[in-house]
Amino acid sequence: MTDYYIDEDGWKIPTNGDNAPSSAYKIIETSLRLSIPPVFSNDPKSGATEMLDSLVMRYVPALGAVLLTHINTQFSQSAGLILDESPFSVTDVKFTALVWSPTNGQRMRGKVTLCSPDHISLLVHHTFNVTIPREYIDCDNFKYASDSSETGSGGRWVHKSSTQVLAEVDRELDFTVVERVTSNQMLTLTASLLDIHRTKSKSKVEKRRKSDSDNAPVDDTKVAKKAKIPIRTADSSDERTSDSSDSDSSSEDEEPPQQTSSSTVEAKKLKHKKK
């Protein structure tokens, strides 16, 4: 079985493997702290839903992704918190979200919307903007060829010694994400066509797979003990430090109080009688 298919232009498009395009869509269980306006005091859940709706198709820093949709909205507490004289109710809201969260080194595919001498512009899923600057294009083997026709679409990138087309408008192109840029709650990507970034992408995939296989549950108590941070157990209400070795050593350094022997007490009694 081959790991590619031939498109209508004769290109080999990978269908699996480390260099194949992958999806950046993810379904996550998460929570956000929201400030519910007082107008929703009689129906706070509707207020929380409306606040989440206002974040749809925007980059949310707390999620590190673009929020696409959400369901199963629930409050984490039974009551909200009103701070000082603010009329807003602050509360944590749990929900299930569909997000778009590409990562650096990820292989993706987009449709070219513009070719120019200094960059290539693409759209992923007809929505998200991607830019490939000239320094991330193999200029040793490819060059920009302008369109001389009156209704030209801005030119294209072609191979220097053959008729191979690297990028032209309305053509799909695979790339590697090298940077995420956020501005005005919008997420755009900077991508690369160089083999060096594709190699790094492959090595990152291998490392990620290895880390996932080696990932094991960690004892929170041991982690806290190693970091020497305060922990609170379920059986006690007092705050304790997990560095028991330090407390033991400090107790050993302290000298115990000297106890008065019985012979010393008797000698003091006889001396008092003589007086």
- DSSP conformation letters of 245-260: HHHHHHHHHSPPPPPP
- 50-54 mean pLDDT: 95
pLDDT digits (tens, 9 = 90+) for 139-149: 999 999 987 65
Fold of 106-196: OB fold (Dihydrolipoamide Acetyltransferase, E2P) (2.40.50)
Amino acid type, 63: L
Distance CA 18, CA 233 (A): 44
> CA end-to-end span of the chain, whole Å?
112
- 60-79 mean pLDDT: 93
Strands 119-124 and 128-133 turn out to be antiparallel
Let me know if 67 is exposed, middle or buried by CB neighbors in 10 A (0-12, 13-18, 19+). Answer: buried
pLDDT digits (tens, 9 = 90+) for 75-89: 998 888 888 888 899
The overall pTM is greater than 0.75: no
- pLDDT the model gives residue 162: 87
66 pLDDT exceeds 50?
Answer: yes
Quote the tokens at residue 83. 């701070």
* Residues contacting 223, CB < 8 A, separation 6+: none
Let me know if 102 is exposed, middle or buried by CB neighbors in 10 A (0-12, 13-18, 19+). Answer: buried
Quote the tokens at residue 232. 């609170």
Whole-number average pLDDT of the chain: 76
Looking at the chain, the whole-number percentage of residues with pLDDT higher than 70 is 62
Same fold flag, 25-100 and 106-196 = no
CATH class assigned to 25-100: alpha beta
pLDDT band of residue 29 (cuts 50, 70, 90) is very high
Would you list the domain boundaries of the chain? 25-100, 106-196
Sign of the dihedral through C-alpha 103, 109, 111, 117: positive
How would you label 4-32 residue by residue, b for 16+ Cβ within 10 Å and e otherwise? eeeeeeeeeebeeebbebeebeeeeebeb
- 11-30 mean pLDDT: 72
pLDDT digits (tens, 9 = 90+) for 98-133: 999 999 999 999 999 999 999 999 999 999 999 999
pLDDT digits (tens, 9 = 90+) for 185-226: 999 999 999 988 776 655 554 554 455 455 544 544 444 444
Residue whose pair of structure tokens reads 């989440």 in the numeric block: 52
Distance CA 183, CA 62 (A): 15
96 pLDDT exceeds 60?
Answer: yes
In angstroms, the Cα distances linking 169 to 12, 57, 128, 166 are: 19, 25, 16, 11
Q: What is the dihedral of CA 72, 74, 76, 78, to 10 degrees?
A: -160
Distance CA 89, CA 156 (A): 55
